[in-house]
Structure 1
Amino acid sequence: MPEYHRRHSIPSFGRVMYDRPLARLHPAAETTEAGGLKRRLLLAAAGLALTGGLAAVPANAQTETSPDDTVATRQHPEFDPPGIRMGGFILYPSVTLDEVFDSNIYATQGHDTSDLITVLQPKLELKSNWNVHQLNLHASGDIDWYAQHSRENYANYDIGADGRLEVYHDAWISGGADYSLWHLPRTSPNNIVGQADPTEYNQASANVVGHKEFGNLFVELGDSYNRYDFTNAQTFDGRAIMWERQNHDENEVSVRTGYTIQGLYELYVKGAYNTRNYDSTSDMSGFNRNSNGYTVLVGGKYNLTGITSIDLFAGYRSQDYDDVRLGTFSAPTGGAKITWNVTPLTTVTGEITRDIDETIVVGAAGYFATKETVAADHELLRNLILHLQLSHEADDFQNIGRTDDVYGVGLGAKYMMNQMTAINVRYNYQIRSSNGTGIGYADHNILVGLTLHL
């Protein structure tokens, strides 16, 4: 997800919830309270995992479960939508209607404003059903109506395609393209306090990857491109906000090579080089944010006994800005993802990543975002899936000494009534503490939704 519209959120069944702010804690208690919350979240996750691990399941039942076949992703033929066959394609139409209560729609500190939001999400997916090659098309919308604060209303959309061409049995080319209209969430670190309307921007993106195998060795070459175009806005008192100064292109080329034994493990090294070119040499704060950077990684994937999979990588990340006031900042980067099918009915996942994100914060070259997530999915009934997610993100802004910590808790349930109908219920809580003034927030979200499939 692009830095500009990524959400400090608890993703659950299909919809990414709003990343709204919380009332800031008292300064003297902020650090202690945030640390205590983090410890409580981790203890809760450990307790849930232990409970799932003690479930009574025959010992040989687990060997039939693949790490890629989790509670959240596995098929349920009696409840999954059949789609509409159209020659060599299958069309999957759906529409979701949600009612959301948001306790802090502006993500402010100490002046929470609540509202009820009606969300309509139509979606079309056209997927190929070929023995060789793949082609998928998609179109979706996200239309939000606020009951009392209509200036927050917005309509997002996303259209695109992706596919894969099998050149030979050991070589393929994959790629995709998208065009989208997004609105920046009020909880984003790039949100401007006091802006009257949500920030609107268009994003055009494309990517291509070529893969070739030489026995157990492989080589991949990739290229990705993103274009961002923002719409100017204004503050509540009528002052102009020149978002168009943030219009820019991002491009990254990469090479990845390694050694793999199919279904067991993979070792690889990866190098990438990126450029970020802005239309204007002066952003809203007078900084030139043109930059280039590189990433070097060493990683590995391992499938343990068909029940647990591990994906680890570590390396170095650097970004060099044209503006001498922003300079260059570099640091170690890395990540890990573990998927554990505790039983055929319970999956626990854990993930941590550290990378550089763009920002518009005055004086900051960017920020290192370290994200940690623990999630558990449990199939209570064949058609009832429960979800728990705990998250933490630490944002370290370069050059200005600002640090933010965002904690989240999410609970959810998905009830599949039949192949055409599913009911979603979710609760999300999020809190941000910061050493910056007026940046912290607290937010509660409650969602009840209905999804209809054909």
Structure 2
Amino acid sequence: MKILASAAIAAVLVAAAPQVASAQSEASSFKRDKHTSVRQRPRPDYEAAGVRLGGFMAYPRLTVDVERDDNIYAVATGETDDTIWRVKPQLAVRSDWSRHSLGFFASSTINRYSDFDTENTEEYTFGVNGRVDIVRGANVSAGLQTQKLTEPRSAPTSPLSAAKPIQYDLTTASLTGVKEFNRLRLTGKFESKLFDYEDGVNGAGGVVEQDTRDRDEFFYGVKADYAISPDTALYVSLTGNTKNYDILNPAVPASGATPAQPAYSRDSDGFVLLFGADFELAQALRGQVDAGYMRQSYDDYKNIGSLTSKNLDGFSTKTQVEWFPTELTTVTFNAARSIEESVASGSGGFISSGGSVAVDHELLRNVLLSGQANYGKDDYDGIDREDKRSGAKASVAYLMNRRVGVFLTYTYLKQKSDGAQASKSFTDNKLAASVALQF
């Protein structure tokens, strides 16, 4: 498919490292490093030493989790609990060069349920990405990544009838160019994603069709930042997208008061236009705040449910602000509003709105406390459905030494779905303990 060609081109242009930073001069007007968050703060006595391989450093890591989940199927009634064991090996190889970067990474997650082995899954990620520094203030970076992932039962797109979790392959390729002209910085980016879903099975052994979700997504955008001071820059960005599905959504026959639904295409094109500012103020604030307009246009809107307009549009934002009340505490605020793909029959997409606040606190140099609260709402276009989600998360990390870390995490999620075509409502509580070994 077209995405595979894009991925190959990106890989040939440049291969690189797991963590890529823009090459900027020391006098750059766009550096935002006056403050250091709790998560970013260096801890030399507790960081992995790595293994030197010539001009590269290798960082192996192994994490073992045990989790208790009181609602593994994410249902409203008749909840089922279970204990899940996870083993997660990881390896990152990064270049140790003064210019340019090159690296590779691989990880896997093996999930094993104590009582319900139909939920057992294996996931993996392999990738290469990095950067070529052309001249001062100019660089090109690219990446290629392939993954096998599992759709969580709690996801709004997870089919209710599936007896086993839905898995899918995701291939992502990206290419980014940056050029800085004193106070002006220009960024161009292209990204492509290939989604390939595996069919599920229902309780009777029948097929839960997922091929209608297979698609290619292409994103292409430009961004211009202008520094009005060393601490603040204003920016405008325009990102377009094209989403092409492999096959039509099947026709649905009439049932009672529900009219028949003809086969239709979910193909669409759209864009997001944002105006914003990124900053790092002396008053212990850092982040980016933006606002703009988004629109998605559906090619076959006349056959998608009760849509009366080709366009789904509205206000858009992708905002993050960090507050540093003390050197030992970081508070992070996030807000986002976007158009997402729907799997509900008769709906092309939905507008997802959400926000969160998180607090990280360094109790001791090797003891980190974290807490987060979040809220989200999905409004579906073309059907009568609205999903609301609220959640919370609390964790403690104890870094025993350079090689061993212990973690305890509690997660709460509540979803309420309303409307004539409502999905599922549920609450879910998870408590997980983890041990990580790194070298």
Question: Shift in Å at residue 391 of structure 1?
Answer: 0.6
Which aligned pairs between 1:389-408 and structure 2 lie closer than 5 A?
A: 389-408=372-391
CA distance in 1, matches of 2:414, 2:233: 38
Alignment match, 1:339? 322
What do residues 403-452 of structure 1 show as CA deviations (whole Å, max 9, x unaligned)?
A: 11111111100000000000000111111112144611001100011000
Question: Shift in Å at residue 262 of structure 1?
Answer: 7.5
Structure having greater relative contact order (Cα 8 Å, sep ≥ 6): 1
Q: Secondary structure at the match of 2:118?
A: helix
Question: Shift in Å at residue 321 of structure 1?
Answer: 1.0
Alignment match, 2:194? 227
Alignment match, 2:85? 118
1:168 aligns with 2:135: yes
In structure 2, relative to structure 1, the CA distance for the partners of 1:232 and 1:438 (3 Å cut) is closer
Contact 2:228 2:234 in 1 (8 A): no
Alignment match, 1:365? 348
Q: Secondary structure at the match of 1:177?
A: strand
Q: Where does the alignment leave 5 or more consecutive residues of structure 1 unmatched?
A: 1-64
**Which one of the candidate residues 288, 295, 319 is aligned to 2:265?**
288
1:354 aligns with 2:337: yes
In structure 2, relative to structure 1, the CA distance for the partners of 1:67 and 1:151 (3 Å cut) is farther
CA distance in 2, matches of 1:267, 1:191: 39
Contact 2:142 2:175 in 1 (8 A): yes
Alignment match, 1:194? 161
Which aligned pairs between 1:1-80 and structure 2 lie closer than 5 A?
A: 66=33, 69-80=36-47
What do residues 130-169 of structure 1 show as CA deviations (whole Å, max 9, x unaligned)?
A: 1111122110011100001001000000000110111100
Paired residue type of 2:264: F
Paired residue type of 1:325: N
CA distance in 1, matches of 2:381, 2:151: 22
CA distance in 1, matches of 2:426, 2:163: 18
Alignment match, 1:81? 48
Contact 2:128 2:145 in 1 (8 A): yes
In structure 2, relative to structure 1, the CA distance for the partners of 1:132 and 1:441 (3 Å cut) is same
Contact 1:246 1:283 in 2 (8 A): no
Question: Shift in Å at residue 337 of structure 1?
Answer: 1.1
In structure 2, relative to structure 1, the CA distance for the partners of 1:129 and 1:294 (3 Å cut) is same
Which aligned pairs between 1:419-430 and structure 2 lie closer than 5 A?
A: 419-430=402-413
1:142 aligns with 2:79: no
1:325 aligns with 2:308: no
Paired residue type of 1:155: E
CA distance in 1, matches of 2:77, 2:166: 22
**TM-score under structure 1 length normalisation:** 0.83
Paired residue type of 2:328: L
CA distance in 2, matches of 1:69, 1:85: 27
1:297 aligns with 2:274: yes
Deviates more, 1:383-392 or 1:401-410: 401-410
Contact 2:69 2:429 in 1 (8 A): yes
CA distance in 2, matches of 1:297, 1:284: 37
CA distance in 2, matches of 1:292, 1:439: 29
Alignment match, 1:267? 234
Q: Secondary structure at the match of 2:80?
A: coil
CA distance in 2, matches of 1:67, 1:340: 12
Q: Secondary structure at the match of 2:303?
A: coil
Q: Secondary structure at the match of 1:143?
A: strand
CA distance in 2, matches of 1:67, 1:435: 46
CA distance in 2, matches of 1:89, 1:306: 39
CA distance in 1, matches of 2:299, 2:282: 49
CA distance in 2, matches of 1:409, 1:260: 37
CA distance in 1, matches of 2:430, 2:275: 39
What do residues 264-284 of structure 1 show as CA deviations (whole Å, max 9, x unaligned)?
A: 111111112111111113358
Question: Shift in Å at residue 300 of structure 1?
Answer: 0.9
Paired residue type of 1:289: R
Contact 1:334 1:355 in 2 (8 A): yes
Paired residue type of 2:404: T
In structure 2, relative to structure 1, the CA distance for the partners of 1:383 and 1:291 (3 Å cut) is same
In structure 2, relative to structure 1, the CA distance for the partners of 1:343 and 1:364 (3 Å cut) is same
What do residues 70-116 of structure 1 show as CA deviations (whole Å, max 9, x unaligned)?
A: 11121100011111111111111000000000000000111210000
Question: Shift in Å at residue 398 of structure 1?
Answer: 1.0
Which has a greater percent of helix? 1
Question: Shift in Å at residue 182 of structure 1?
Answer: 0.6
Paired residue type of 1:305: A
Deviates more, 1:315-324 or 1:260-269: 260-269
Contact 2:161 2:208 in 1 (8 A): no
Alignment match, 1:185? 152
CA distance in 1, matches of 2:241, 2:207: 32
Alignment match, 2:394? 411
Paired residue type of 1:442: T
Paired residue type of 1:415: Y
1:451 aligns with 2:436: yes
Contact 1:218 1:258 in 2 (8 A): yes
CA distance in 1, matches of 2:171, 2:250: 21
Contact 1:246 1:284 in 2 (8 A): no
Paired residue type of 2:425: G
Contact 1:109 1:438 in 2 (8 A): no
Alignment match, 1:313? 290
CA distance in 1, matches of 2:230, 2:361: 25
Question: Shift in Å at residue 183 of structure 1?
Answer: 1.0
Question: Shift in Å at residue 127 of structure 1?
Answer: 1.1
Contact 2:69 2:81 in 1 (8 A): yes
What do residues 298-330 of structure 1 show as CA deviations (whole Å, max 9, x unaligned)?
A: 111011117211311111111111222343211
Q: Where does the alignment leave 5 or more consecutive residues of structure 2 unmatched?
A: 1-31, 253-262, 305-309
Aligned length: 390
* Aligned residues: CA RMSD: 1.6
**Which one of the candidate residues 67, 79, 86 is aligned to 1:100?**
67
1:432 aligns with 2:415: yes
Question: Shift in Å at residue 124 of structure 1?
Answer: 0.3
Alignment match, 2:224? 257
